């Protein structure tokens, strides 16, 4: 887990790689830190400029997006 809350960001349309391992220093995006883990980033195709709630707890059932699962995690 990188944080127990989503990263809510205004995004431009484009392709992004979401960090699945929680180790990236560039949350919520991949910086290659997963290389020694079994995790792989998830590619997101954002088709229009909009606000996105990226999952920060890494436990969402709708990765890479927040689905509220973080509220059930005890920190
Ligand atoms: S931050 Fe992971 S489900 Fe909300």
Instruction: Read off the pLDDT of residues 48-66 as tens digits, 9 standing for 90 and up.
Output: 999 999 999 999 999 999 9
What sign has the CA pseudo-torsion 18, 22, 28, 30?
negative
- Domain residues for the domain of 58 are 7-63
Identify whether 68 is part of a domain.
Answer: no
User: Tokens 């709708």 — which residue?
Assistant: 62
Identify whether 70 is part of a domain.
Answer: no
Ligand 1: residues whose CB is within 6 Å?
A: 5-6, 55-57, 59-60, 66-70
Identify whether 1 is part of a domain.
Answer: no
* Residue 70 pLDDT > 90: yes
CA of 59 to the centre of ligand 1 (A): 6
Report the distance separating Cα 40 and Cα 74, nearest Å: 25
* Residue 22 pLDDT > 90: yes
Identify whether 36 is part of a domain.
Answer: yes
Identify whether 52 is part of a domain.
Answer: yes
Q: What is the pTM of this model?
A: 0.94
Say how many domains are in the chain. 1
């Amino acid at each position: 887990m990188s944080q127990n809350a989503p990263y809510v960001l205004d995004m431009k349309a484009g392709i992004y790689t979401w960090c699945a391992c929680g180790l990236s220093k560039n949350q919520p995006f991949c910086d290659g830190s997963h290389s020694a883990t079994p995790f792989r980033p998830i590619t997101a195709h954002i088709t229009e400029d909009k606000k996105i709630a990226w999952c920060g707890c890494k436990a969402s059932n709708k990765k890479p997006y927040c689905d509220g699962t973080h509220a059930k995690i005890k920190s």
